Amino acid sequence: MLHVIRIQNAFFIPFQTQVTFWLLGGENVLFDGGGMLDGAGQAWWDAYAANTSLLRPIILTVYQAKNVLVDSIQMINGPEWFNLVNEGEHVIYRNISISAVSTSNNMPRNSDGWDVYRSNDVTIVNSIIHNDDDCVSFKPNSTNVHVEILDCTGSHGISVGSLGQYPGVYDIVENVFVNNIKMANAQNGARIKAWAGPNVGSGIVKNITFQNFIETAVDNPVIIDQACTRFLCSPVFAFLLDDVWFNNITGTGTNSVVASLLCSPDGRCSNISVNDFSLSYPAGTTQYSCQNVNLTGNAASLFPPCTVT
């Protein structure tokens, strides 16, 4: 059993057993001023390299708050996630600068720019992120989220998920609009990930739009990963993906497969539309792949006939 070391002088967050430096709650909250939040991340990254049970703080958590504006704040050196919106409503972030860059061989870990969890009506706009994990992640029960005009470097992309991680839990992510994103030197671009297999949860992802992405040197510019679990691949699938749009995705990939849409069998993916793709693999032949999905849209012809499992 993993022994988790908790720290003093931080607020405890039940979701995934987290702690946070700053906690904002209440209603009608304005957090601005043009200042900087420095999480002193290098000390945490070095310590975590020697002891992965170390519980590292999130820099800023908006917790059970309503009508919140976080504006013109610089955040650097986050020990872990930079921002968590936990059970929030009507929350806006704008003009945020995020950076996690190591000066040693111990790289930042889990340095998500934003994680949205059990929250409704969240807006993230006009921000710059340099990190090594998700630029933005839509965790379970994120609804009506608007993300626009982000410049992401070094990240794991704009991600729906991971979802279905916990057995017996029903996850929902719906009505998400992501527009005008620059993604460079990243693992993923636009991504949806849901666990499949035994001992996982269930749920639905519905009405998701990824639009106007410019990607440079991205490993997986467009990806749906619904085929395997962290345990084993298994014919047990409990997640539905419906009404997903990838529109106007351009740029370069670091692998030959620039778009990979891998869905579970039994019609678990429906109404997946791909439009106006201009993606290339500069080092060789550009390829597209798909599994268990009927694609629509003017870029569907770029994909070979999808395999069926």
Strand partners, 222: 190, 259
**Catalytic position from the list 112, 115, 132, 133:** 133
**In terms of Cα–Cα distance, which of 74, 69, 72, 70 is closest to 36?**
74
Contact 135, 113 (CB under 8 A): yes
CA angle 273, 203, 196 (to 5 degrees): 85
Work out the burial of residue 59: count CB atoms within 10 Å of its CB; fewer than 13 is exposed, 13-18 middle, 19 or more buried: buried
State whether the Cα torsion 151-213-41-81 is positive or negative: positive
DSSP 8-state secondary structure symbol assigned to residue 293: -
User: Can 156 be counted among the known catalytic residues?
Assistant: yes
**In terms of Cα–Cα distance, which of 274, 222, 270 is closest to 243?**
270
Contact 185, 219 (CB under 8 A): no
User: Can 146 be counted among the known catalytic residues?
Assistant: no
State how far Cα 88 lies from the chain centre. 17
Q: Is 41 helix (H, G, I), strand (E, B) or coil?
A: helix
Contact 170, 138 (CB under 8 A): no
Residue 87, phi then psi, degrees to nearest 5: 55, 45
Work out the burial of residue 17: count CB atoms within 10 Å of its CB; fewer than 13 is exposed, 13-18 middle, 19 or more buried: exposed
**Catalytic position from the list 112, 115, 132, 156:** 156
Which residues are designated catalytic? 133, 156
